[in-house]
Amino acid sequence: MSDTGYGDFEFERRFWARDVPADLLDASPALIVQSYVLADAGFAIRVRVQATVDGLVLDRGLDELAILERYADRMDFCAITVKGPMNEGTRYEAERELDVSVGIELVRRGGARVAKTRHSVWLGDDGWVVDTFAGGNAPLMIAEVERGGPVTDLTIPDFCVTEVTSDPRFSNDSLAGTPYAGWSAAYESELAARGPRFLESLGHNHRTGEPSD
């Protein structure tokens, strides 16, 4: 339970990112490989293993399972997580830590997988993470900020091109089943045609100071 009064609910905003400044990315990102035992209509059961690898640069030719096998002996954390559907930046999430060796076997043996590197950075008063996806979801980058309560009055960095908080295509459970590489060109065409969007109810456009549409 959190001490914010919101229990197991998490509050986050997520953005499709591009041209993230290299000096913001830490030299020892977390490597994450996760699989989804269940992913349906926003409900998900996820098993995640992760490690911190100095100077990590993933081989673009490796798929998610090959990444797991290459770094299996470096994994030092595992958890199973239950999630509910996203509702404008709010999502139920309950997590329990697992034995790492058991977690590796679970990810090996089943479920659609996602692999990514995660960089952590402080921007103003907020802690952000920037996920760079590998395997079938390369070269997708998602920047995310999470708080103990609703994420309002957020200063959004320029590398956040458009908000995807409420776009179910960009949830990790959706990306596991329908990898971004297969529809990236169509999405970029869509983005070019309609322009960026930000959630009006959750904040203001960082470039103009006016409510977003």
For the chain, what is the mean pLDDT?
88
Confidence of residue 33 (pLDDT cuts 50, 70, 90): very high
pLDDT at residue 201 greater than cutoff 60: no
Query: What tokens does 42 get?
Result: 């926003």
Residue 9 to residue 2: CA distance in whole angstroms: 8
Residue 125 to residue 101: CA distance in whole angstroms: 36
| Per-residue pLDDT tens over the stretch 180-198 | 999 999 999 999 999 999 9
The region, left, alpha or beta by phi > 0 then psi within -120 to 50, assigned to residue 120 is beta
| pLDDT at residue 59 in the model | 85
Phi and psi, residue 171, nearest 5°: -70, 150
Query: Over pLDDT 70: what percentage of the chain?
Result: 90
What is the gyration radius of the CA atoms in the chain, in angstroms?
Answer: 17
pLDDT at residue 210 greater than cutoff 70: no
> By the 8 A CB rule, do 48 and 81 touch?
yes
| Per-residue pLDDT tens over the stretch 144-173 | 998 888 888 899 999 999 999 999 999 999
| pLDDT at residue 6 in the model | 52
| pLDDT at residue 205 in the model | 46
Q: Lowest-pLDDT range, 79-83, 120-124, 171-175?
A: 120-124
Residue 169 to residue 64: CA distance in whole angstroms: 19
| Averaged pLDDT for residues 35-55 | 93
Closest to 81 measured CA to CA, from 132, 124, 38: 38
Closest to 33 measured CA to CA, from 92, 121, 100: 100
Phi and psi, residue 150, nearest 5°: -50, 135
Residue 35: exposed, middle, or buried by beta-carbon count in 10 A (0-12, 13-18, 19+)? Answer: buried
Residue 36 to residue 166: CA distance in whole angstroms: 20
Confidence of residue 89 (pLDDT cuts 50, 70, 90): confident
| pLDDT at residue 2 in the model | 38
